[in-house]
Amino acid sequence: MFIVVGVTGGIAAYKTVQLVRLLVTGGHDVHVIPTDDALRFVGLTTWEAISRNPVTTSVHEDVSEVRHVALGRKADLVIVAPATANSLASMTAGLADDLLGTTLLATSAPVVVAPAMHTEMWQHPATVANIATLRERGVHVVGPADGLLTGGDSGPGRMSEPEDVVAFALALFTGDLDGLEVVVSTGGTREPIDPVRYIGNRSSGRQGAEVALAAAARGARVRLVAAHVDGGVLDAASRHPRIAVTRVGTAAELGEAVRAASADANVVVMVAAVADYRVAEVSDRKLSKEDGPLQSLELVQNEDILAGLVGSRRSGQMIVGFAAETATDADELLDRARRKRRRKGVDLLVVNEVGWSAGFETPDNRVVVLGADDEVAAEASGTKRQVADALWDAVLAVRAASN
């Protein structure tokens, strides 16, 4: 999720460092907007380092990007923590005298505020009225907690703990894949020839990682079985609280891991590029020309994991395959894809055209999704994340139709 965290000028700003960290390690894209006063408590460098994004505080910077509305528009969620009495009054009045104020007016995302102030200020009729108005407008208020305040006194006014603010904010999102258990495979298997060589393929694992992230962002619990992937591809998935990553090497290992993970799954999506063949006898020592020129490698066929999953699926389990095909035109692509879908027996087959310069190692993708009736159920193009979301839309449509 794209999350904006507004920080206003209270000592509890130090707790917001941990709050931002929790969101970032949860796989979210976090943009911090501190007010000038907040920067007196925690500096810009800390916010940039912890959020892993640049931080600006002024409406007059990056004017060409129209930053004062851009962040608000992009946000899926805005959290203001700590929210001082003054900032709550500004929000209630709709003041737009800084970047946080303009962002709050420009957003239609849910807004969560975590008030922090002294008990007298929290209980003052002005603050009570402001909170009531904000609640009426749909702003979500978390806390404040009752406890020790700055200066040694105690009472309601303490900012809620970062873990509680995050849990409260994320619980506002009930995704359309809530409660679903899904398994996704990704990457390319590597079949060893000898201790240093292998048969592999060009799959980067990006599309599968995005299928996993999209599902998790929409509420599913994901088991991601990853063969070889490009560097950094699994970073966000490994940090996501709803994704469990298992690493594998060969097709046989992938098959075993996917079958084990699939026992309770509602949906299994095989994005991995699985080697169809392995070397009949893997050499224990490095093959050398000294042994004479290598004339050929004897290969044996690997099991078709996907077809096996379809054959042994539990009732109601949906199985989705991917197919990367080369074709001279769209008709040939669809013909090949239809034959493959029937051969595998999957509920959905996501087909993309690949070539020497398309489909691999790129951020974008273009796919056609074939349904069990061999008709085109969906077409999608754009980033691999957009393609992943279109796939989950198609999965939901099939599940809805079969209920």
Q: Does 29 bind ligand CTP (CB under 6 A)?
A: no
From 24-32, 224-232, 315-323, 327-335, give the range in contact with ligand CTP by CB under 6 A. Answer: 315-323
DSSP 375: S
Q: Give the dihedral sign, CA 221/226/229/235.
A: positive
Binding of ligand CTP at residue 306 (CB under 6 A)? yes
The token pair at 108 is 């239609």
Give the containing element (helix H, strand E) for 157. Answer: strand 154-158
Cβ-based nearer residue to ligand CTP, 26 or 255? 255
Question: Does the footprint of ligand CTP cover residue 76 (CB under 6 A)?
Answer: no
276 in contact with ligand CTP (CB under 6 A): yes
Q: Is 274 in the site for ligand CTP (CB under 6 A)?
A: yes
Q: Which of 270, 337, 369, 377 binds ligand CTP (CB under 6 A)?
A: 270
Q: How far is the CB of 142 from ligand CTP (least distance, A)?
A: 43
Figure out which of the listed residues 322, 348, 378, 388 binds ligand CTP, where binding follows CB under 6 A: 322
Which CB, 261 or 270, lies closer to ligand CTP?
Answer: 270
Query: For the chain, what is the total number of helices (H) and then of strands (E)?
Result: 14, 19
Choice between 237 and 323, CB closer to ligand CTP: 323
Question: Residue 253, interface with ligand CTP (CB under 6 A)?
Answer: no
CB distance 172 to 138 below 8 Å: no
Tell me which long-range contacts 151-154 makes (C-beta under 8 A, separation of at least 24). 153/118, 153/119
The Cα 341–Cα 320 span in angstroms is 10
Cα–Cα distance for residue pair 321/182, rounded to 1 Å: 13
Indicate if 365 belongs to the active site: no
- Residue 4 host element (H or E): strand 2-7
Q: Which helix (H) or strand (E) holds 114?
A: strand 111-115
Nearer to ligand CTP, 115 or 255 (CB): 255
305 binds ligand CTP (CB under 6 A): yes
Instruction: Tokens 């946000």: give the residue.
Output: 75
Per the structure block, which two tokens stand in for 226?
Answer: 């990853």
302 binds ligand CTP (CB under 6 A): yes
Three-state DSSP state, 69: helix
Considering only residues 9, 144, 321, 359, which one is a binding residue for ligand CTP as defined by CB under 6 A?
Answer: 321
Annotated active-site residue in 86, 130, 201, 302? 201
- Please say which residue, 81 or 269, places its beta carbon nearer to ligand CTP: 269
Shortest Å, Cβ 289 to ligand CTP: 31
Contact residues: ligand CTP, CB under 6 A: 251, 270, 272, 274, 276, 302, 304-306, 321-324
